[in-house]
Amino acid sequence: MIDTAGLRSTIGRVGRRFGLPIGRFDTREPGGFNHVSLGCNCQMAHVLKILGLRKWSGPLDWLFSMPGMARDCLADDFATLVDRGQLESIPSSERRGPGIWRGRHRLYRERHGLECVFNHHDPALVPADYTFLTEGVRRLRLALDTPGTKNRLWMMTHLWTPKTTAEEIAGLLRQRPSRNHLTFLQLETGRDRVEIVETLDLAPELRWITVHTPSEPVGLRLADPADDAVLVALIKAEAERSPAILN
């Protein structure tokens, strides 16, 4: 029997050595308990990673998205996200810098105003990038569709979001065979200090937290490292809670 995990690991090492895209293989798989980012950019996934909670890559870890887009992805089980007919390379003249702003999604651009969805990858043009996207979808589907699996899902955005959108997302998660809890972090920037100002359990599977921050997100973190450190500490404390629905 072929050791596929070992083979992928070897291919990945060779790819990284020679700078090949094939090195993006991720051999990690969902387990019985998972912490999962649902966006809205790589910041949430990065926080989970540095806290040692994120064990595998999902499709919304590294995209530019919005809560409404995540809702749409869950509603059709990510079929539209991976539809090749919806994927489009961003022309070099429209990119915001070398190696960034590489791909868009036609429907999500029209529906949510997202001029860029794929910042560092171009699944419309690069086969390895498309595989990276579809493998992330496969893992998330596995986590959501395996009965008995417990998933703590996280979403963070500084764009104003109505609570009804978070409730719709939680409702879609409720329909999956797994047991799921969503923590939604609404950042409100330009405030005096980093602090939680509102915590609401909107449903057994949904916790809404409003957080004030002086600085705005820039890439993986808040612009001010001191602010970011406090935000990470707040999320760490929240992650140490055990939602009753997952007990």
Q: How far apart are CA 16 and CA 189, in angstroms?
A: 38
Q: How far is CA 212 from CA 7, 158, 183, 191, 237, in A?
A: 46, 10, 16, 6, 16
pLDDT of res. 25: 56
Contact indicator for 207, 198 with CB cutoff of 8 Å: no
Contact indicator for 119, 62 with CB cutoff of 8 Å: yes
Specify the pTM: 0.88
DSSP string, 179-201: EEEEEEEEEEESSSS-EEEEEEE
In a domain? residue 71: yes
Q: Collect the ranges in the chain with pLDDT lower than 70.
A: 1-26
- At 129-152, the pLDDT tens digits run 999 999 999 999 999 999 999 999
Number of structural domains in the chain: 1
pLDDT of res. 27: 76
In a domain? residue 9: no
pLDDT of res. 142: 98
Query: Both tokens of residue 133?
Result: 């996207």
Give the list of residues 6+ apart from residue 10 with CB closer than 8 angstroms, or none: none
In a domain? residue 16: no
pLDDT of res. 3: 44
In a domain? residue 241: yes
> Cβ atoms within 10 A of the Cβ of 45, count?
25
In a domain? residue 183: yes
pLDDT of res. 99: 86
Contact indicator for 196, 167 with CB cutoff of 8 Å: no
pLDDT of res. 97: 87
In a domain? residue 3: no
pLDDT of res. 246: 97
Q: Which domain holds residue 144?
A: 32-246
pLDDT of res. 98: 86
In a domain? residue 225: yes
